[in-house]
Amino acid sequence: MKVSVIGLGYIGLPAAALISGKGIFVHGVDINEKIVGTINSGRIHFIEPELEGLIHHAVSNKLLIADTKPSEADVFIVSVPTPILADNSPDLSYVEKAIGSIIPYLQKGNLLILESTCPVGTTERMVEMILTKRPELKGSFFAAYCPERVLPGNIIHELINNDRVIGGVDKTSSEKAADFYRQFVNGNMHLTDSRTAEMCKLVENASRDVSIAFANELSMICQRAGINTNELIELANKHPRVNILKPGPGVGGHCIAIDPWFIVDSFPEEAKLIRQAREVNMSKTEWVIEKISEEAKRFENAAGKKPVIACMGLTYKADVDDIRESPAMEIKNQLERSGFSVKAADPLITNGIKETIKIFTPEESVSQADMVVFLVGHKQFRSLPVPANKIILDFCNINHQKSIL
Ligand code: SAJ
């Protein structure tokens, strides 16, 4: 069997690693020649535990080759990005380009799987796009939507063990796709239709966005009420059926901050709460900037100079190196645009990003700053000493580290 994985990013590359790990040849395809070169040298282009070893093993055993062009295969997996445009509508250009690139190579009996997060109805539209160009394939290839639900930092384990939702455009397609995944997935297969599977992926993340919005709104209420939000949430969660999530400086990443917009875009009349949750989570980032600016004003009035501000953490969430859609990065940039001297520290930021951003060590940032603002709860910050004469603003509940003289 030969499998072609189109898109070798956070989802495609781990899938390629697991499939080739089962002795199935994988032809990986990516438009980025640098990524193709990195993979063919047995290395990977982002941090993910266990993945580099699997890729190195697959490449050295000639079970994985990366390429910029597709070729014939038995199974095609499309796992390319689906970002949103400035007006928050989905950008399906990568999916359309990926599907367009494999149309000449599709053969009777092939299985096409779309894994990229996409609006409801996309899989059916892609099949129509294929049949417009290749009408002779009608009824003789299989197509399914199979979303992934892995947590960055634990992708390999979750790809293997999480249940999978398998949404075929018809029953046989669902069964073919489930049989394919069973070769490397231990989780249960839940078969449904493609539209339900597409919506399932979106609602998983939208429901989380709504839950996070509740925590973020609570934090803004508590700040005005003079209540410690984290203590309040801890107490409320003692209730056996309450699970309030953690407030943060906003919602980042390329999933939770993006996917709900796919539902809002398709169902603008009905998706009121989902849209409102997005607005609350985006307003939280502005609120954090406002709070930092208010504290900086107080410092300036007292000290007669603008404070140097240490921004602790730039990634989109704790203990990952990913800065995509990062609220912390947005906060740092806005503070710099407001004329503040910012000393940013993030021990997870790998060199590639460092070249474009001046990154200090946590110790350097703290020692050079008047205000220390914790934006991302990296575990390295938990034991970081902060002298008691520094103003500490903590937006990620790192507050159990002790200040020292
Ligand atoms: N966040 C909070 N408070 C919380 C939880 C998260 O402020 O209590 C923030 C994080 O700091 C981050 C953002 O939300 O900025 C998203 O973080 P996350 O851990 O919720 O999600 P991701 O984007 O890393 O991964 C999500 C996961 N989806 C769910 O948990 C429902 C993952 O399982 C998905 O596979 C992934 O999106 C995806 O690829 O869709």
Tell me the pLDDT of the chain averaged across its residues.
Answer: 95
Query: Which of 157, 159, 165, 208 maximizes ligand 1 atoms within 8 Å of its Cβ, making it the mutation to test the pocket?
Result: 208
Given a contact cutoff of 8 angstroms between Cβ atoms, the answer to whether 186 and 213 are in contact is no
Contact between 272 and 206 under an 8 Å Cβ cutoff? The reply is no
CB 392 within 8 A of CB 403: yes
258 Cα to the center of ligand 1, angstroms: 11
Task: Give the angle subtended at the CA of 117 by the CAs of 141 and 349, to the nearest 5°.
Answer: 130
CA–CA gap between residue 63 and residue 179 (Å, rounded): 20
The pLDDT confidence band at residue 381, using thresholds 50, 70 and 90, is: very high
Q: Give the pLDDT mean for 101-119.
A: 98
| Nearest ligand 1 atom, CA 252 | 15
Give the number of other Cβ atoms within 10 Å of residue 169's Cβ: 19
- Quote the CA–CA distance of 350 and 36 in Å, as a whole number: 20
Over its C-alpha atoms, the chain yields an Rg (Å, rounded) of 23
- Give the tens place of pLDDT for each residue, 120-133: 999 999 999 999 99
Mean pLDDT (whole number) for 132-149: 97
Read off the tokens for 216: 């973020």
Candidate from 256, 316, 348 with most ligand 1 atoms within 8 A of CB, to mutate: 256
pLDDT bucket at 402, cuts 50 / 70 / 90: very low
pLDDT bucket at 403, cuts 50 / 70 / 90: very low
Show the ligand 1 pocket: residues with CB < 6 angstroms.
Answer: 149-152, 204-205, 208, 212, 215, 245-246, 248, 251-253, 255-256, 316-317
pLDDT grade for 321, boundaries at 50, 70 and 90: confident
Closest-lying ligand 1 atom to the alpha carbon of residue 245: 8
**Distance, CA 261 to ligand 1 centroid (Å)?**
15
- Dihedrals φ, ψ of 86, to 5°? -60, -30
DSSP letters, 216-260, are HHHHHHHHHHT--HHHHHHHHTTSTT-------S---SSSTTTHH
Q: Which atom belonging to ligand 1 lies closest to the Cα atom of 204? A: 31
pLDDT of 152 higher than 90: no
Q: How far is the CA of 7 from the centre of ligand 1 (A)?
A: 21
Identify whether 255 is a catalytic site residue. Answer: yes
pTM listed for this prediction: 0.93
Per-residue confidence at 351, pLDDT binned at 50, 70, 90?
low
Instruction: With H, G, I as helix, E, B as strand and everything else as coil, classify residue 93.
Output: helix
Structure tokens at 139: 């009824």
Taking residues 347-354, what's their average pLDDT? 78
For ligand 1, mutation pick of 317, 375, 381 (most atoms within 8 Å of CB):
317
Q: For residue 332, what are its two tokens?
A: 């740092």
Q: How far is CA 260 from CA 117, 135, 163, 209, 276, in A?
A: 11, 34, 22, 8, 10
Distance 392 CA to ligand 1 centre (A): 26
CA of 256 from ligand 1 middle (Å) equals 6
> Residue 288: pLDDT band by 50, 70, 90 thresholds?
very high
Choose the catalytic residue: 118, 255, 311, 396.
255
Q: pLDDT by residue (tens digit) across 61-97?
A: 999 999 999 999 999 999 999 999 999 999 999 999 9
Q: How far is the CA of 324 from the centre of ligand 1 (A)?
A: 12
**327 Cβ neighbours under 8 A, 6+ residues apart:** 248, 249, 250, 251, 252, 284, 285, 288, 316, 375
Tell me if residue 201 is catalytic: yes
CA 107 to the chain's CA centroid: 33
